[in-house]
Amino acid sequence: MSATTGFQHSLVALGSEYITPTSATPVSAPDWIAWNDSLASELGWPDAWSHTEEALAGLAGNTPFDGSQPAASVYAGHQFGSYNPQLGDGRALLLGEWHTPAGHVLDIQLKGAGPTPYSRGGDGRSPVGPVVREYLVSEAMHALGVPTTRALAAVATGDPVYRQTREPGAILTRVADSHLRIGTIQFFAMTRRGAGLEDIVNYATERHYGTALAAARDQEPDVTPARVLLEEVGKALAGLVAHWQSIGFIHGVLNTDNMLLCGQTVDYGPCAFMDAFAAGRVFSSIDSGGRYAFGNQPGIVHWNLGVLAQCLLPLIDDDEEAAVAYAQASVDRFPERFSSAYAAHLAAKFGLAGMREDDKQLIEQFFQQLEQDSLDFTLAFRWLAEMANGTLEQTPLSQIFSPSDGLSDWCEQWQLRRKGASGDTTTRMLAVNPVVIPRNHLVARAIAAAEQGDYGVLKTLNSRWQDPFAWSDNDLQFAAAPEPEEAVHRTFCGT
């Protein structure tokens, strides 16, 4: 490996109160499930080395990688609204921060590599199902352009894990800008009543928002990192949730410990993409109250940002009133930030150069029509894109999507609105309205096969989802909404 790439350990260096050295627990019979060549090359992992027994042993936690220092982080978090004062990496181990040839610094974690001091009685392992789901969905999200943690590899352990039933175990290698969460800040602010808070806030701000911090300091030399962190996390999360809403992604567990400060989507537990549109759609088996329903996501992320703001108060200003005023103003900017990011996505999806006040009603009617007629979210948008571009005749879309009468009527209004729209906005519709998304019933098929030791479905789907905005051969099976008997309505954390 070249001198510029390799592991460093800045979080470990920050102090033992943040992260605890922990070894992976070896497994009996490591085997490859999936390997992400393109991510490996971004990381600067040599090709020749990537597929070796040595790499496999490292990814299974049997032989530590050169230069890694496995460690588990502590954090806390509001889970379904109630504060849990101590959580942590219960089934994840940070191998270190990997410095890439392009100069990026990325956390590399093994997920499912055995118990840690934060396992709270859990086994620190993962069944193959959740590993396959995370691999597929996180990589599909990346291809859709959504900020997300990535999947570098998935390996089978050869050991069973016991949940409701005996299941084959697996380990995912996850890559993120970092795994610092709102919950990380909460642990030091709330559980530890401020001890260790300033160092982790400074660290997170410099690591993720160094440029914004420098720019803020140019304007105002005394600006505190906490102010910059709150503002930048607010912007990043507003953009993130707007992106989710624009593609019908339902995260499923928007607890504060599942919100990364870097603004990437994390924790692909009971997540799912909607097929037929419903604002109240919920998949997670544990979300009985619908707290994290599709339409609630922006409000929940706003609430989570409020929790971060509360944690940062003592570092925002020595004067409590001034601190509260700053934090409140920053948190209050979230709805507007979300709305403008979401409006930009919608404008692009509907082929509009910009959003006018009266467009809101037209768009609202579109969603009402989808919900009323149980129309597929993804295909309805693609249908608009193909109508506008005149490509319907050339693609198989009409075989799998027919508009309802109501949608056809709506379409006339929409075409009137688009009269005179530029060719660019029209072409762009094809680049923002995907043909394929990681539909739940297909993910479920990949999981069922993987549980039988067959990783072929995973491979096929993963490869198809890398190019989501264009049609490909034999695409009906990937693009079609599920038949009623195929549809998956419930998802599980599967931990």
β-bridge pairing 31-35 and 92-99: unpaired
Rounded CA-CA distance 355/346 in Å is 8
Residue 208 partner contact from Mg ion, ligand AMP, none using kind-dependent CB cut-offs of 5 to 8 Å: none
Yes or no: say if 59 and 72 are a contact pair by the CB < 8 Å rule: no
User: Active-site residue numbers?
Assistant: 257
Yes or no: say if 193 and 320 are a contact pair by the CB < 8 Å rule: no
The closest of 337, 72, 334, 30 to 169, measured between CA atoms, is 30
Rounded CA-CA distance 88/420 in Å is 55
Residue 125 contacts ligand AMP per CB under 6 A:
yes
Which residues contact residue 489 at a Cβ distance below 8 angstroms, ignoring those fewer than 6 apart? 283
- Choice between 112 and 438, CB closer to ligand AMP: 112
Residue 87 partner contact from Mg ion, ligand AMP, none using kind-dependent CB cut-offs of 5 to 8 Å: ligand AMP
Residue 265 contacts Mg ion per CB under 5 A:
no
- Choice between 389 and 495, CB closer to Mg ion: 495
Other beta carbons within 10 Å of 18: 21
- Choice between 72 and 436, CB closer to ligand AMP: 72
Residue 126 contacts Mg ion per CB under 5 A:
no
**Binding residue for ligand AMP, selected from 17, 123, 159, 373, defined by CB under 6 A:** 123
Residue 122 contacts ligand AMP per CB under 6 A:
yes
Residue 88 partner contact from Mg ion, ligand AMP, none using kind-dependent CB cut-offs of 5 to 8 Å: ligand AMP
Which residues contact residue 284 at a Cβ distance below 8 angstroms, ignoring those fewer than 6 apart? 252, 253, 269, 270, 292, 490, 491, 492, 493
Residue 122 partner contact from ligand AMP, Mg ion, none using kind-dependent CB cut-offs of 5 to 8 Å: ligand AMP
Using the contact rule CB under 5 A, the part of the chain among 37-45, 78-86, 234-242, 260-268 near Mg ion is 260-268
Rounded CA-CA distance 387/396 in Å is 13
Residue 267 contacts Mg ion per CB under 5 A:
yes
Residue 130 contacts ligand AMP per CB under 6 A:
no
- Choice between 216 and 271, CB closer to ligand AMP: 271
Backbone phi and psi for residue 186, each to the nearest 5 degrees, phi listed first: -60, -40
- Burial of residue 232 (CB within 10 Å: 0-12, 13-18, 19+) is buried
Residue 25 contacts ligand AMP per CB under 6 A:
no
Yes or no: say if 346 and 246 are a contact pair by the CB < 8 Å rule: yes
**Binding residue for ligand AMP, selected from 58, 96, 114, 124, defined by CB under 6 A:** 124
Residue 84 contacts Mg ion per CB under 5 A:
no
- Choice between 168 and 270, CB closer to Mg ion: 270
**Binding residue for ligand AMP, selected from 78, 89, 213, 302, defined by CB under 6 A:** 89
Dihedral-angle region of residue 192 (phi above 0 means left; psi in -120 to 50 means alpha; beta otherwise): alpha
Q: Of residues 262-301, which lie at the interface with ligand AMP (CB under 6 A)?
A: 267, 269
Dihedral-angle region of residue 18 (phi above 0 means left; psi in -120 to 50 means alpha; beta otherwise): alpha
Residue 90 contacts ligand AMP per CB under 6 A:
yes
Q: Of residues 248-267, which lie at the interface with ligand AMP (CB under 6 A)?
A: 253, 257-258, 267
Shortest distance, position 118 Cβ to ligand AMP, whole Å: 6
Rounded CA-CA distance 43/103 in Å is 10
Q: Of residues 442-481, which lie at the interface with ligand AMP (CB under 6 A)?
A: none
Q: Is 188 helix (H, G, I), strand (E, B) or coil?
A: helix
In 35-57, which positions are buried (b, 16+ CB within 10 angstroms) versus exposed (e)? bbeebbebbbbeeeebeeeebbb
DSSP one-letter code for 296: G
- Choice between 263 and 403, CB closer to ligand AMP: 263
- Choice between 5 and 25, CB closer to ligand AMP: 25
- Choice between 195 and 493, CB closer to Mg ion: 493
Using the contact rule CB under 6 A, the part of the chain among 85-93, 205-213, 306-314, 338-346 near ligand AMP is 85-93
Vertex 268 angle, CA 267 and 272, to 5° = 140
Residue 85 contacts ligand AMP per CB under 6 A:
no
Using the contact rule CB under 5 A, the part of the chain among 89-97, 123-131, 255-263, 473-481 near Mg ion is 255-263
Residue nearest to Mg ion (CB): 267
* β partners of residue 87: 75
Yes or no: say if 277 and 371 are a contact pair by the CB < 8 Å rule: yes
Shortest distance, position 236 Cβ to ligand AMP, whole Å: 19
List residues binding Mg ion (CB under 5 A): 258, 267
Contact positions vs ligand AMP (CB under 6 A): 87-91, 119, 122-125, 253, 257-258, 267, 269, 493, 495
